[in-house]
Chain A
Amino acid sequence: MTQDLSFWTLQTLNALQLSMLLFLLSIGLTVIFGLMHFVNLAHGALYALGAYIAASIAGVAGFWVAIIAAPVGVALVGVVLYGGLIQRMRKSGPMAQVLVTFGLIFALLDLTRIFWGDLALAMSMPQVLSGQVDLLGVSYPAYRLFIILLGGAIFVALALVLSRTQIGAMIRAGVDNDAMAACLGINVERLFFVVFCVGCALAGLAGAVAAPLLSVTPGMGLQILIPTLIVIVIGGLGSLKGAVAGSLIYGFVQTFGAVLAPQLASVLIYALLAAVLVIKPVGLFPAKG
């Protein structure tokens, strides 16, 4: 059955779908990291928050409203976090940042539990995306296709913003050399703030998109953190190209590992991670040469 063409098509689509979900999540984290030198481990918790907000709103106002409201809601939480915590922590070194944002994971996790309870929630997908689509000879869930397309669209949009717009140029300048960028009159502080909020919004979007596919549980933010960090380490810090390459590598290794070498599936990605760290310690496409 592994020689069957439809097998390869189907599993490639599965791999792309997982990749795009991870891409949505890791791009926010990696750009914040690359630009601000800030290790925001609470990013996964923001993803969980996005899923909870989306699941709650979807029950009242439907899927499409939820998927727009969740990123906005999470970005607002990001604003509060930035003003209350992140801004103060920016200069305090990676160890303090890791500890504080790691603590933030548990604080947010318990807050979601107190607010939404311990039981897992679910969010139903819209009617139009609930069926299957015939594609290249296989019947594939429409919702998964939607995730692939959405991930692709976000990638193209971000690539255009970063390469073609003035704010993109400022962000690139800030990533490459923030001191020089500040000397050129770029308000690096305000840029950081905008990027941080966009990163949070993307985490919220990833949570909202994942909610109908996965169940919404308090622990989901913690579960997704390791894959996201692996994506970033493989891809290289701070770059869009790195995030998409890392996500694709993770998605394909995980998916094809699961079906072709199930006994190795859980260690395969770690082996790859180790190999990348040995050969290219900065990742495949780091933002800074």
Chain B
Amino acid sequence: MKRATLATLAAATTLALPAAADTVDIGVLLPFSGVYAALGNEIEAGFALGLETYGNDLDVEIILHREDTEVTPATGLARTRKLILQSDVDAIVGVVSSGVLGAVRDMVDGAGVPLIVANAGNDAATGVDCSPWITRVSFSNSQVNRPMGRWMAEQGIETVYTLAPDYAAGRQMIEGFTGAFVEAGGTIVGSDYTPFQQTQDFGPYIAQAQASGADALFVFYAGGEAISFVNQYASFGAGDDLPLYGSGFLTSQLYVDAQGQSAEGVITALHYVPTIDNAENAAFVAAFRDATGRVPSEYAVQGYDAARALIEALETGARDRETLGAALRQVSFDGPRGALSIDPATNNVVQPIYVYETVQGANGMTQTVLAQLPAEADPVNGCQMPSLPTN
């Protein structure tokens, strides 16, 4: 798997014509080791595929500088500094952890280097801490959950119990959901935050939620915790009286095979699922499967769209930090996720959200899209966007 990724990356690095007139240096800032290594590799695979798909006609040679952030903010900052000062990159793509994004924010903002965020969902990055140099093509934590709150209320669900790990993303996801659900007339009957990365045994919490008598359970878990949670939820036989809903990371394509039948019937919402029915997505899924042998996850599409945003910016003639930064904010296209654009007020992506049910398919678990919820821009959340310096 890793070798295939590296091969496509090597291909991507040299894909432009040798006679290319210009070169741009792009930093790829992702975790390739540590607990988020799987996400880093998935985003990189998507990014490499995006460059290959959209970069062919470009009269620019793209030189990639790959740096491993691990999951440590200090390491992320050191690698960013290296990219900016030593490798002298024109733009940076990546960042998985919100903690790392928080650490590098001032560095890229101060140095005036465009950063295309390909994962980190921290609301503040396109809120209070927004920067004209930081463009997010992935998602924000509240963005993926807010529409779900409204949708669940519309389905006649009146009372909900919520669970999430106790850290910034967990809280933002639940707050995004809760705000919209309560506004739409629902009631939260109970809510717990589980100690992050300390608790893998969710039995006590699931039993507590079951006893609350709520109509539904809404949770956010990701990674290994998502697998544990869904498996344990199923083993308690809680499905009958307390159906499981959640943020789509819970039943991400990346983990759904490991969850197996436990994930059947779980309804979640996210900005991407591989079964979205449009031509762009069909082409993307086929190409990704050819390149890696697996079905792409939301992380892969974030890398893929980050590459596409970069290339669309390059196609406008942008070549250096200033012009790239300005061009990235204008980017909009129809991708595998549907119509994407960048909100000029916050530099955050505006995209549709999909509600989907995980079901048993012919080859393992798959997703049935139940509803496509309209794209809406995040509230400005205290972002005061300065204009880019023009020269």
Q: Which residues of A contact B (CB under 8 A)?
A: 1, 4, 7, 10-11, 14-15, 17-18, 21, 110, 113, 117-122, 124-125, 130-132, 139, 141, 143-144, 212-220, 223, 226, 254-256, 258-259, 262, 265-266
Top 10 closest pairs, chain A to chain B, by CB: A215-B227, A122-B258, A118-B38, A217-B224, A266-B195, A141-B235, A215-B224, A14-B203, A118-B37, A120-B224
Known: A11-B207, A122-B257, A122-B260. 5 other contacts (CB 8 A): A10-B207, A14-B203, A118-B37, A125-B235, A218-B37
Q: Which of B35, B231, B237 contacts A122 (CB 8 A)?
A: B231
B-side contacts of A14, CB under 8 Å: 201, 203-204, 207
Closest chain-B Cβ to A87's Cβ sits at a distance in Å of 31
Chain B residue at smallest Cβ distance from A251 = B201
B-side contacts of A218, CB under 8 Å: 35, 37
Q: Which of B37, B41, B198 contacts A266 (CB 8 A)?
A: B198
Chain A residue at smallest Cβ distance from B193 = A262
Q: Does B243 contact A (CB under 8 A)?
A: no
- Whether A119 lies near B254 (C-beta < 8 A) is yes
- Whether B195 lies near A265 (C-beta < 8 A) is yes
Q: Which of A119, A223, A226 contacts B200 (CB 8 A)?
A: A223
In Å, the complex CA distance between A10 and B235 comes to 14
- Whether B205 lies near A120 (C-beta < 8 A) is no
Q: Does B199 contact A (CB under 8 A)?
A: yes
Number of A-B contacts (CB under 8 A): 113
Q: Does B259 contact A (CB under 8 A)?
A: yes
Chain A residue at smallest Cβ distance from B236 = A141
- Whether B231 lies near A258 (C-beta < 8 A) is no
Question: Which chain B residues numbered 186 to 243 have a C-beta less than 8 Å away from chain A?
Answer: 192-195, 197-201, 203-205, 207-208, 211-212, 223-228, 231-232, 235-237
Closest chain-A Cβ to B4's Cβ sits at a distance in Å of 12
B-side contacts of A17, CB under 8 Å: 201, 203
Q: Which of A4, A213, A217 contacts B201 (CB 8 A)?
A: A213
Q: Does B280 contact A (CB under 8 A)?
A: no
- Whether B205 lies near A258 (C-beta < 8 A) is yes
- Whether A258 lies near B204 (C-beta < 8 A) is yes
In Å, the complex CA distance between A271 and B259 comes to 35
Q: Which of A1, A15, A266 contacts B166 (CB 8 A)?
A: A266
Closest chain-B Cβ to A131's Cβ sits at a distance in Å of 7
- Whether A122 lies near B259 (C-beta < 8 A) is yes
Closest chain-B Cβ to A80's Cβ sits at a distance in Å of 25
- Whether A214 lies near B201 (C-beta < 8 A) is yes
- Whether A255 lies near B204 (C-beta < 8 A) is yes
